[in-house]
Structures are given as C-alpha cells and as structure tokens.
Structure 1
Amino acid sequence: MLVAFVLDWLRGKAEVNQETIQRLLEENDQLIHCIAEYQNKSQANEYIQYQHVLHRNLIYLATIADANPTSAS
C-alpha cells in the first residue's frame, strides 16, 4: 500500500515532478482511509504509524508548494 520512495526524498534524491506529487496524493488518500478505519475500531496503536507517514507527506507537499509560488495560480 505505501509508496517506497519516501526515504529517497528524505535524502534529496527523488525528482520532484507531477508524477511524484500525484503518487504522494494517492498515498495520502490511502493513508486517510486506513487511519479512519483504525480509528473507527479504536485501534490507536495501529493508526499512529500511518499518521506519522501522512504528516511527513503533507509537510513535504507544503515545502514543494512554498518553493514554487508560481505553480499555485
């Protein structure tokens, strides 16, 4: 389920392009569904790890957006 390129971008090796951004958005969608499912089952230990990955992805996407102000228009 989870995309395995997260460690690459932490090291600065992943190319930031529309495909990378789309993959992150799709992964975030899956993460949100998993988190909601585990929350509904009151299984906090299971969904916390997914929240950390989602948070990391969102911070990365926000960093990309801040670095490219012209793409927001």
Structure 2
Amino acid sequence: MSVAFVPERLRGKAEVNQETLQRLLEENDQLIRAIVEYQSKGRATECVQYQHILHRNLIYLATIADTAPPNGQRTAD
C-alpha cells in the first residue's frame, strides 16, 4: 500500500517527517520504473494502476509543499 494512502479516519493525524517523505520519493521511483517497464513491453493497460498511485503520491507531495512555510522562515511557536 502506498505511503501516501491514509484511511479517512486517520487523515490529519499522520506525521509528515523526512523519513516519510524519503520513503514516498523512493516509492515514486519504483512506480515510475514499473510504469516504464510495462510500457516498453507494450502492456500499457497494466501500468494504469501504478499511474493512479503515482498520481495520488504526487498530489500528496504537492499538498505538503503548498502548506509548508517557505525555506528560511519559521512558523510561530
């Protein structure tokens, strides 16, 4: 299951840290490799599920980036 997938009942409670982000980036790397492999074998329909997971992961990363304070700025304690 994708690192970015969080059940509805747990949303908003998941901690986002460097380890989680790194695991997500590594998962995306694996997904891209699988998609490329399937496409190179002419099996594009099989890669659709991986494309959906990759898309969800990218949206999750974009959401985190949008809510994070700009570099060099601290949030109020």
TM range (shorter): 0.7 to 0.9
Q: Give distance in 2, aligned partners of 1:22 and 1:51.
A: 19
Superposed CA RMSD in Å reads 2.3
More helix by share: 1
What are the superposed Cα offsets for residues 10-68 of structure 1, whole Å, 9 maximum, x if unpaired?
Answer: 64142111111101000000000000000001112210000000000000000000000
| Aligned partner of residue 70 in structure 1, secondary structure | coil
In structure 2, list runs of 5 or more residues that go unmatched. Answer: none
Provide the residue aligned with 1:37 in structure 2.
Answer: 37
In structure 1, list runs of 5 or more residues that go unmatched. Answer: none
Question: Aligned in 2, Cα 1:40/1:63: closer, same or farther, shift over 3 Å?
Answer: same
| Aligned partner of residue 22 in structure 1, secondary structure | helix
Q: Give distance in 2, aligned partners of 1:63 and 1:50.
A: 20
- Provide the aligned length of Structure 1 versus Structure 2: 71
Bigger relative contact order, structure 1 or 2 (CA pairs below 8 A, ≥6 apart): 2
Q: Give distance in 2, aligned partners of 1:34 and 1:65.
A: 25
TM-score under structure 2 normalisation?
0.78
Identity %: 62
Of stretches 63-72 and 26-35 in structure 1, the one that deviates more from structure 2 is 63-72
